[in-house]
Amino acid sequence: MNRQISANRTLAVRLSALLLAGMFASSLLFPHPAFALSELKQIPRETNQEKKAEDVPDEEEPGDEGPMQIPMPDPLVNKPTRDAKDDSVEDQAPAAPVEVLSDVSKIPEPVARMRELIVEAAASGDIERLRPLLGKGPTQTQVSENDGDPVEMLKGLSGDQDGIEILAILLDVLSTGFVLTEKGTPDEVYVWPYFTEKPLSSLTPPEKVDLFRLVTAGDFAEMEEAGNYNFYRVGITPDGQWKFFVAGD
């Protein structure tokens, strides 16, 4: 019996020693406290959202001015914003093409008749033959900005005292193509030459030849600078009235 008790004590001592040795070894391998499996599940873990939130800097307080920023200089040229709706109709729509006429047989008979009479009078070399065609009073043909005897005023515009030069110019003008201006209005009038209504920049080479029969290259250069034809022109109304024979814009 005593032997049995002694043996049990010896066994207990040995187990205690082994237990202490195991605990000592565990403390060396795991310096931190160990957790049970159920306890590990309850340990909070850092989420991605929390991590991102930490990386985002805190918003500045209302009183915090933050780092000073240098203002950018104003543009040298301020261009106003243009609204397409504000564009005028003239800017949006291209200019209508000019209809150049050449067949006098297709125009009103009174117009063709007056043109024929002017050509015959001018070709005669006698400027007085224009007098009955120039009219009087309210229907008198405009040949200048001043009132007076139209024949004498035409002589004054000519480079010679007899008015021969102005008759030659009149013939040359009436030999070109022509246009109908103010169509469909009370101011409708047939005008020679057609250059009066056509931009000089749009003239074709053959049209420039027509123009150079009336003016010199120097005259043409000046017209280009002015932006329009400014030599002599003739106007006849649909009812056959000789409306004007003038030069200028």
The secondary structure of 37-65 as a DSSP string is HHHHTTS----HHHHHHHHSPPPPPTT--
In this structure, are residues 199 and 207 in contact, taking their beta carbons and an 8 Å threshold?
A: no
Report which secondary-structure segment, H or E, holds 122.
helix 109-123
| pLDDT the model gives residue 227 | 86
39-75 per-position pLDDT tens digit: 444 444 555 555 454 554 555 555 555 555 655 555 4
- DSSP 8-state class, residue 45: -
Q: Read off the pTM.
A: 0.62
Name the residue with higher pLDDT: 43 or 171.
Answer: 171
Closest CA to 164 of 125, 218, 205, 138: 125
3-state secondary structure of 175: coil
Query: Per-residue pLDDT tens for 97-108?
Result: 889 999 999 999
- Residues contacting residue 26 through CB under 8 Å, at least 6 positions apart: 34
- The CA-atom distances, in angstroms, between 20 and each of 13, 27, 75 are 11, 11, 84
Find, among 122, 197, 215, 217, the residue nearest to 163 by Cα.
122
Indicate if the pLDDT at residue 12 is higher than 70.
no
Residue pair 129/138 in contact (Cβ under 8 Å)? The answer is: no
Q: CB 194: neighbour CB atoms within 10 A?
A: 22
Rounded mean pLDDT of the chain? 78
pLDDT tens digits, residue range 122-161? Answer: 999 999 999 999 998 889 999 987 778 999 999 999 999 9
pLDDT classification of 96: cutoffs 50, 70, 90: confident
